[in-house]
Amino acid sequence: MSFFSFGQSAEIDVVLTDAETRKKAEHKTEDGKKDKYFLFYDGETVAGKVNVTLKNPGKRLEHQGIKIEFVGQIELYYDRGNHHEFVSLVKDLARPGELTQSQTFDFEFTHVEKPYESYTGQNVKLRYFLRATVSRRLNDISKEMDIVVHTLSTYPELNSSIKMEVGIEDCLHIEFEYNKSKYHLKDVIVGKIYFLLVRIKIKHMEIDIIKRETTGTGPSVYHENDTIAKYEIMDGAPVRGESIPIRLFLAGYEMTPTMRDINKKFSVRYYLNLVLIDEEERRYFKQQEITLWRKGDVVRKSMSSQATIGAQRFEGSVSLESSSVSSMLDLKCRA
């Protein structure tokens, strides 16, 4: 870099105004590791300083302008050449000229809209970052700083229970019930399973939480299923009239709020998967979608508008249609 800049270059550092007091949140990177980033919410102001430090004091640095950007973008891994920006704000910090000494520039993006939650998945990444750039004729000098955004929701006004009868005609008849259809990320799933008819020998039953990530549109749609949790309900044969309670704590699992049709690029949905295994290792299952939402630790007044937006975004009805006894379970035993 020093060769092209005739002996002078610079280092850029971005420092937030409230860096000492702002909360940080863990977020998974593409390689599966976890790092901590400054945490923001929708509508919050992003402010700080850009420090441009000359590497060789005494030598001038010519530039075509200095700017800082706040960017929210979606990157589909199968289309890495195209970054889809849904937020793009720019502030000019200096006009074209030259720097003869290190300098600090203040910036402020007021009440920035951050409509979606930060997300790193199997095929897609949604990120927010600040990018400071010293523009030059041959090679720009830039520095990026990622932040994490969480979307908060208010308690759903409609949160009906899930109650379904499932089974195989003349062989198995089960009724299961979950206390509600929408859960916050630290909630508890409470339910019961009733055995009304048991004529096959069941040896094991469990509930799985499945995350389904959908990317793309039309013929280029990709689905990735990931089993987040497995909860053993029963190990042994049930009898008619028996009921089994369910109590599944969500706080111990890594999940995001339900994300539906984010910028028309991807969705993330969650399902409860009831699995039964008989003594001949045949599997029977039934899936039911649930909605997950993020509950704020402390809801501030400034967050009220953001929370309303979040509630509207993540609120959605869960289909509670009951199937007939003869068609309620998808049978893999016939394969």
For residue 166, being part of any structural domain is answered with yes
For residue 315, being part of any structural domain is answered with no
Q: Which of 149, 177, 205 is the last residue of a domain?
A: 149
Q: Give the mean model confidence (pLDDT) for residues 219-242.
A: 85
Question: Looking at the structure, do residues 65 and 102 belong to the same domain, yes or no?
Answer: yes
For residue 303, being part of any structural domain is answered with no
Task: Please count the residues of the chain.
Answer: 335
Question: Looking at the structure, do residues 47 and 145 belong to the same domain, yes or no?
Answer: yes
Q: What pLDDT does 286 receive?
A: 86
Q: What pLDDT does 310 receive?
A: 40
How much is the pTM? 0.82
Question: Looking at the structure, do residues 88 and 194 belong to the same domain, yes or no?
Answer: no
Question: Looking at the structure, do residues 278 and 183 belong to the same domain, yes or no?
Answer: yes
Q: Give yes or no for residue 257 having a pLDDT over 90.
A: yes
Give the span between the Cα atoms of 75 and 333, in whole angstroms.
40
- Read off the pLDDT of residues 67-116 as tens digits, 9 standing for 90 and up: 999 999 999 988 877 889 999 999 999 999 999 999 999 999 999 999 99
Count of beta carbons in the 10 Å neighbourhood of residue 251:
10
Q: Give yes or no for residue 317 having a pLDDT over 50.
A: no
Question: Looking at the structure, do residues 145 and 188 belong to the same domain, yes or no?
Answer: no
pLDDT interval class at 164 (50, 70, 90): confident
Question: Looking at the structure, do residues 118 and 186 belong to the same domain, yes or no?
Answer: no
Q: Higher confidence at residue 130 or residue 82?
A: 130
Q: What pLDDT does 332 receive?
A: 36
Domain that holds residue 15: 10-149
- Read off the pLDDT of residues 293-302 as tens digits, 9 standing for 90 and up: 998 765 444 4
Q: Give the mean model confidence (pLDDT) for residues 49-70.
A: 92
Question: Looking at the structure, do residues 112 and 141 belong to the same domain, yes or no?
Answer: yes
pLDDT interval class at 35 (50, 70, 90): very high
Q: Give yes or no for residue 320 having a pLDDT over 50.
A: no
Give the span between the Cα atoms of 143 and 85, in whole angstroms.
18
Q: Could you tell me the CATH number of the domain that includes residue 281?
A: 2.60.40.640
CB distance 310 to 152 below 8 Å:
yes
| Count of domains forming the chain | 2
Question: Looking at the structure, do residues 38 and 70 belong to the same domain, yes or no?
Answer: yes
Q: Give the mean model confidence (pLDDT) for residues 108-130.
A: 96
For residue 330, being part of any structural domain is answered with no
Q: Higher confidence at residue 200 or residue 1?
A: 200
Of the candidate ranges 2-6, 10-14, 145-149, 153-157, the one whose mean pLDDT is the lowest: 2-6
